[in-house]
Each structure stands twice: as C-alpha cells, then as structure tokens.
C-alpha cells in the first residue's frame, strides 16, 4: 500500500517537474516546411533558348538559358506579349528577368510569346501559362480522442507560448501537495480518515478550477500554408528529377548536345612510373668495404649530381681470418725469398762452378717473390671510387660514413627528373598505336609515347613501355596510374566528360539526360575509355540528347 | 495524413506530363503554300513570307484540311534583323490572315503568331 502511495507521489512530483522543465523552452526548431506546391510555371524552348516562366505572387520570373548548354543568358532584352499587352522585363539576377503582372494572381490560362534578343541570337518562344484555382482546404477527420488530445495539447502549447503563470502555479502546487502527502503518508499512526481527507484535498487542489477548465477547441490548429518563396527540387517515383531553374543555377548544371563521333578504340592498362632507362643509374660497390665521404661530403636525397662526379669511396675491409691468411702467405713468400737469395749469393761466389742459366733462374725467382710479397703487403691500401654514371638527381639511397657497402647493393639511385617512362601491364595482346595518356589518381593527365612491348610474360601480362612526352611536373618513380592507350581500331560513340558518368544505386553506370527545362532522367550507359577527361559512351545514348556535363554528381544527391 | 503527400505527387506528375507534352510540339515543316507549317493549338498554321512586307497565314485543322480565317483575329511578332516587328493580321477575302510588316520579312523568319478563333479560343504558333 505504501508502495502505491509512493508511486502516486512520485508521479505528482514528476508532473510538476515536467511542467517546470518546459517553462520558457521552445520545442526545438519548427519542422522544415514541406513543399506541397510548386509555383505555376510554363516552359518554352527553341533550338537557341530555353525559357521557364514562373508565376509568383503578382510577378512573373522568367529564367532564360541556352538550350544546348543550360548556361544562363544574361544581358538580353526580353519582352512578353501577354493578353494584357506587351511587358518589358528587368534582369534581377543574371539570366533571371522579372515582369510585373498582377493578373497572374487570378486563375486562368494565359498565352505568352516571349521575345528574347541576346548576343547569342534572337527568338520568340511561346507558351501558355495556366494558373490553377486555389485548392479547397483539406478536411481532416479525427476521432474524439484525437480532438481531445489535440485540444489539451493545443491549450498547453498556447499557455506555454503565452508564458501563463497558472502553469507555474499548478506545477508549484503539485510539488507542495506531493511534499505534504509524503509527510502525511509516512506517518503510520495517522488514522485512515485523515489519509482520505489528505488525498481528497490533494485531488481537489490539483484539479483545474472550473472557471479555467474550459478546454479550448482545436480552433483550426493547422496554420494556413504560406506561399512558397522558392520551389524545391524533388525526385519522382520513377527516378526522374524535378529541379527548378533556381536550383539548377546554384548547382551550376551544364549540358551538352550529344553527337555521334568516331574515335580510335582505347584500352585502359594499369601502370606505374619508372625512370627513363637511359637517363637513370645505380651506384653500387664492386667490393666489400667501408664507405668514406668524398671531399664535400656525401650527396643527399634530391641533390643534383653530374656524370663522373665522385659520390663515395669504398675502403675494402679485411676480415681477421683473411688477415692471418695473408700474413701467413707473406711469411711463406719471405721464407722462400730468403732461401732463393741465399742460394743466389752462394751461386754468385761460385760462379765458375755453377752454370750461368741457374743463376739467372734464381734471379727471376727472386724478383717474382719480391713482387708477390709487395702485392700482398699493399693490398690493404686499395680503395674504390664510386662515380655517378649519369647526370641526375639522387632519388633514393643513403650513404653514411663507415657504412659497409657490399657488392651488388645499391648505394644511390640517380634519376633524371625530366625523363620518366611509364611501364604498363597489358593482359590482352593488343596492337597499340603511338599515342597514349596516363591518368593519375587525382585526375591529372600526362601524354605518353609508345616505346615498346615486351614479349616475356610478367604475371600473365606483357609489360608495355611508354615515354613521357615533354616536361612532366611532379612525377615520381613508382607512382601508380592508369594508361589509356590507343589501338588502331575505330569505335563510334558519344563523347561525354568523365564526371558526367555516375554510378547508379544498383552499381550501373548512368548519366543524367535533361528532357525538359526542369526535368532530368537517368540513362544507363556503357562507356569505353577515351582520354583522361572524357569517356566514350558506346551504348545507352543517341545523338541529339542533352546530357548533364557538369553538376551530375550534385543532381544525384537530390532525394 | 496521406492526403497532402498524395496531392503533392499528383501535382508533380501533372506538371511533369505538361512539360512532356510541351517538348514535342511545334516542329516546323514545309506547308503546301511554300511556307512553314507548325502546330497552333488544335490547328495548324502556315506562315508565308516572300521577302516583301506582306505576311500571309493559312489555317488548317488537325487533319490538315484548310480552315477559313473568317472571324479570326491574329497578331504577329516576327524577328527581323534582330528587332521584333509586331503587327496585326486580319482575314482577307480568300479566307487567309494577312498583315503588313514595317520591314521586308524573309521566308525563314523567326517569330510567333498569336491566334484567336471566332469562339474565343486562343492559340500560338512558333516559327
């Protein structure tokens, strides 16, 4: 029982607390207005211009764009022949012309002839602007419970917005009553009658006073929808888009008229940058030894070296075993030398008894032994000078004094920064033309010239080499890229910018087609590589369409 | 609750279909009197200009049968040398609409004719 009262008390507290919390608060930002209406409009087009007339309030806004490119037509003289006379427009924004026309506020159908005289040409566009009758207000059927809830909530909201003190008073009273109740109920010795009296008091006090208990009827709680000041882009259930001209201007939508063209067929190969084999070199030691810096120190990464420049000196190191071996050899030679010398001396003293040839042999042997000994003794002095084989820049490698250089290990790699090649891998045996383009990950392109194709497979692919044409800034050996190489075969298709082709929700490649002034639809396409900036649509489009060339990605984000 | 959403969809669809209709109309084609014939509302209108100041408009019904211009009224907005020439066209004895421009009008002139049928229906033809 006590638990129940505790719950009731807590509830009273909670309600009082809730009322306090809402005091002075707004209920978050109002929900964004839903675009239930699109301003009455008509579009008219010729081969030069495209016009969209939007009736808004008591004026007409006319958006004039180039038909083919969707570029706003600025600085034009625009006149409209209306049923009430000829109107001259004023350009309020670039490519937007405003006309005062109070009659567009009344429903009806109005024939308009729009005369556009611009630098790009002149034309008369015709269209019929239909202003619909205002829609009847929607009738909402609601159950009694909904009406009651709405009325109570509406009343609460009205009180909150009016900062009615009665709310605070009621909240505070609730708090007070809760405290009193707690005190009363926690005393077990109180009589049941007192308990009932206390609860009765609490209920009566908490109930709204009869005078203020009038429940406000949901007096047309729904506010009248305000006239939209702009139209909102929408996606149709069929995937098409309605994009008002104003939004198109913001998104910078540009189109191009599709034309069938014949281009050489291109293939795309993965590749990477390599140094020009004739303008790069390795510096390697031919014997094991310690590196010693030349005069001026070791060249560092990125420093320029000339062909023939001394970049490092290798001082051969000799192991302890080698040293002992050599000393032993020297001792043996010296021993033989001593024997030979003594025999030679003896022979010379007894020159009459010994054949002259024998003395000569001994002399030759002595000379040979001396030469052998000197050679062995001077071996520690041989050092190797490491010379740059080509002119270029130190691209890789690091030399530190005292570092041990081994034969075959690269100390430095020298690259000519102006001369790079590209090695691509071709998985199909294709005959390639001379032209090719390298496309980097960031979209930059570099022209290439075909040099040759290897015949030995490398991982089931044939290496194809291209040289970079002209100066290429910022290339690094090892950079990965795509090579778009020409083949002798021809291919027919429609050229569109690479950015115009998007990946649809299902993974297919799509482009946006502008079917009308403010309507865009997706088309599935099949594309082949062409060059770094454009692709060739070989299926899915026909000539004479308007493809969105710029801003397609932004259109795709419209939901 | 679904009513406003539905009406929005319907209005979008209606607007979309209006656009679709607008795009395919008014393809000029050679007419029987040596001018260009285009669609104008429920009718077809052929504009004949021969390099003089006189402009003649022949009217046809949707089945390309000639229609007398008696009771019709019309005005022309023609662009000649980058300037708009506006003048009225009136029915003549041969059941055509004729008018006189201030300057000579070439055969392939750009412009529009606003027509009013005897029953008050209006139509526009774009050349």
Q: Which of A264, A197, A325 is nearest to A490 (CA)?
A: A264
Task: Pick A254-274+419-556's CATH classification: 3.40.50.620, 2.40.30.170, 3.20.20.60, 1.10.4160.10.
Answer: 2.40.30.170
Predicted local distance difference test score (pLDDT) of residue A210: 44
Predicted local distance difference test score (pLDDT) of residue A504: 85
DSSP state of A381: G
Q: What is the mean pLDDT of residues A102-125?
A: 88
* Phi-psi label, residue A252: left if phi above 0, alpha if psi -120 to 50, beta otherwise: left
ipTM for the whole complex: 0.72
Mean pLDDT in chain B? 80
Predicted local distance difference test score (pLDDT) of residue A370: 93
Residue A478 CA, chain-centre distance (Å), reads: 22
Residues A177-186: pLDDT tens digits?
A: 666 666 655 6
Residues A242-277: pLDDT tens digits?
A: 999 999 999 999 999 999 998 888 888 999 999 888
Residue A67 above 90 pLDDT?
A: yes
The model's confidence at residue A542, banded by pLDDT at 50, 70 and 90, is very high
Residues A329-348: pLDDT tens digits?
A: 999 999 999 999 999 998 88
Q: What is the mean pLDDT of residues B97-126?
A: 89
Q: What is the mean pLDDT of residues A399-424?
A: 87
Residue B96 above 80 pLDDT?
A: yes
Predicted local distance difference test score (pLDDT) of residue A161: 54
In chain A, which residues fall in CATH 2.60.40.10? Answer: 41-131
Q: Where are the alpha helices (DSSP H) in A267-355?
A: 320-349
Residue B9 above 80 pLDDT?
A: no
Task: Using an 8 Å CB-CB cutoff, list residues of chain A that contact chain B.
Answer: 34-38, 41-46, 79, 81, 83, 86, 111, 113, 115, 117, 122-128, 135, 138, 234, 236-237, 240, 242, 515-519
Q: For chain A, first and last CA: distance in Å?
A: 57
Closest approach of B82 to chain A, Cα-based (Å) = 6
Residues B38-83: pLDDT tens digits?
A: 988 889 999 999 889 999 999 999 888 998 988 998 989 998 888 8
Residues A75-105: pLDDT tens digits?
A: 999 999 888 888 999 999 999 999 998 888 8
Helix, strand, coil percentages in chain B from 3-state DSSP, rounded to 5: 20, 45, 40
Query: How many C-beta neighbours within 10 Å does residue A201 have?
Result: 14
Predicted local distance difference test score (pLDDT) of residue A222: 45
Closest approach of B12 to chain A, Cα-based (Å) = 8
Closest approach of B33 to chain A, Cα-based (Å) = 23
CB contact under 8 A, B19 and A43: yes
Predicted local distance difference test score (pLDDT) of residue B122: 87
pTM of the model: 0.61
Q: Which of A91, A37, A31 is nearest to A61 (CA)?
A: A91
Residue A142 above 90 pLDDT?
A: no
In the block, residue with structure tokens 């008390």: A9
CB contact under 8 A, A115 and B124: no
CB contact under 8 A, B12 and A38: yes
Mean pLDDT in chain A? 79
- 59-118 in chain B: CB under 8 A from chain A: 75, 77-79, 82-84, 86, 110-112, 114
Predicted local distance difference test score (pLDDT) of residue A402: 84
Residue B47, chain A, CB below 8 Å: the answer is no
Residues A10-52: pLDDT tens digits?
A: 444 444 444 444 433 334 333 333 344 688 889 998 888 999 9
Angle in degrees, CA A406, A411, A416, rounded to 5: 150
Token output for B99: 């008018």
CA distance A183 to A178: 9
CB contact under 8 A, B22 and A42: yes
Of the listed ranges A16-20, A206-210, A440-444, A501-505, the one predicted with least confidence: A16-20
Predicted local distance difference test score (pLDDT) of residue A56: 86
Task: Pick A41-131's CATH classification: 2.60.40.10, 1.10.3720.10, 3.40.50.720, 1.10.287.130.
Answer: 2.60.40.10
Q: What is the mean pLDDT of residues A117-141?
A: 79
Angle in degrees, CA A146, A148, A150, rounded to 5: 65
In chain A, which residues fall in CATH 2.40.30.170? Answer: 254-274+419-556
| Structural domains of chain B sorted by starting position, each given as residue range(s) with its CATH number in brackets | 27-126 (2.60.40)
């Amino acid at each position: 029982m006590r638990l129940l009262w505790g719950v009731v008390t807590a509830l009273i507290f909670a309600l009082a607390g809730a009322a306090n919390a809402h005091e002075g608060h707004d209920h978050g930002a109002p929900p964004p207005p839903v675009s239930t209406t699109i301003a009455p409009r008509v579009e008219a087009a010729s081969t030069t211009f495209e016009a969209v007339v939007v009736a808004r309030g008591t004026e007409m806004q006319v958006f004039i764009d180039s038909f083919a490119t969707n570029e706003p037509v600025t600085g034009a003289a625009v006149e409209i022949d209306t049923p009430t006379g000829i109107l001259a427009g004023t350009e309020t924004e670039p490519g937007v012309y405003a006309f005062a026309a109070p009659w567009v506020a009344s429903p009806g159908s109005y024939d308009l002839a729009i005369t556009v005289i611009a630098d790009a040409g002149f034309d008369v566009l015709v269209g019929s602007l239909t202003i619909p009758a205002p829609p009847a207000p929607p009738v909402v059927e609601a159950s009694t419970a909904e009406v009651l809830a709405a009325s109570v909530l509406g009343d609460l909201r009205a009180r909150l917005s009016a900062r009615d003190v009665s709310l605070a008073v009621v909240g505070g009273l609730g708090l007070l009553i809760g405290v009193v109740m707690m005190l009363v109920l926690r005393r077990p010795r109180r009589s049941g009658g007192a308990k009932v009296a206390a609860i009765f008091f609490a209920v009566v006090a908490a109930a709204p006073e009869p005078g203020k208990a009038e429940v406000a009827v949901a007096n047309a709680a729904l506010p009248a929808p305000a006239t939209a000041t702009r139209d909102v882009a929408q996606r149709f259930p069929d995937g098409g888009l309605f994009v008002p001209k104003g939004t198109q201007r913001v998104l910078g939508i540009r189109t191009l008229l599709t034309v069938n063209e014949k281009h050489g067929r291109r293939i795309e190969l993965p590749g990477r940058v390599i140094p020009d084999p004739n303008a790069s070199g390795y510096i390697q030691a031919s014997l094991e030894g310690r590196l010693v810096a030349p005069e001026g120190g070791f060249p560092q990464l990125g420093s320029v070296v000339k062909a023939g420049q001394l970049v490092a000196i290798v001082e051969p190191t000799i192991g302890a075993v080698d040293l002992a071996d050599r000393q032993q050899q020297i001792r043996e030679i010296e021993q033989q030398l001593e024997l030979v010398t003594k025999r030679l001396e003896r022979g010379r003293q007894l020159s009459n008894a010994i054949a002259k040839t024998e003395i000569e042999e001994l002399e030759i042997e002595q000379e040979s032994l001396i030469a052998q000994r000197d050679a062995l003794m001077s071996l520690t002095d041989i050092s190797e000078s490491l010379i740059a084989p080509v002119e270029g820049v130190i691209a890789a490698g690091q030399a530190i004094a005292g570092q041990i250089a081994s034969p075959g290990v690269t100390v430095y790699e020298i690259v000519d920064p102006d001369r790079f090649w590209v090695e691509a891998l071709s998985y199909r045996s294709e005959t390639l033309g001379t032209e090719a383009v390298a496309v980097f990950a960031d979209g930059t392109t570099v022209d290439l010239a075909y040099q040759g194709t290897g015949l030995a497979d490398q991982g089931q692919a044939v290496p194809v080499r291209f040289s970079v044409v002209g100066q290429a800034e910022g290339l690094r050996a090892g950079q990965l890229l795509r090579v778009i190489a020409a083949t002798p075969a021809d291919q027919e298709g429609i050229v569109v910018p690479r950015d115009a082709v998007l990946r649809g929700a299902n993974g297919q490649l799509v482009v946006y087609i502008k079917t009308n002034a403010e309507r865009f639809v997706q088309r599935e396409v099949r594309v082949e590589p062409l060059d770094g900036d454009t692709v060739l649509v070989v299926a899915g489009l026909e000539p004479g369409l308007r493809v969105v060339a710029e801003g397609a990605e932004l259109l795709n984000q419209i939901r | 609750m679904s009513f406003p959403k539905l009406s929005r969809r319907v209005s979008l669809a209606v607007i979309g279909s209006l656009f679709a209709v607008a795009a395919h109309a008014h393809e000029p084609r050679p007419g029987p009197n040596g001018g260009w014939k285009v669609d104008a509302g429920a009718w077809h209108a052929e504009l004949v200009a021969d390099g003089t100041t006189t402009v003649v408009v022949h009217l046809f019904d949707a089945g390309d049968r000639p229609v007398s211009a008696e009771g019709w009224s019309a005005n022309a907005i023609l662009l000649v040398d980058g300037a708009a020439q506006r003048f009225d066209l009136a029915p003549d004895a041969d059941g055509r609409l004729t008018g006189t421009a201030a300057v000579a009008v070439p055969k392939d002139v750009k412009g529009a004719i606003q027509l009013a049928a005897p029953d008050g229906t209006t139509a526009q033809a774009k050349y």
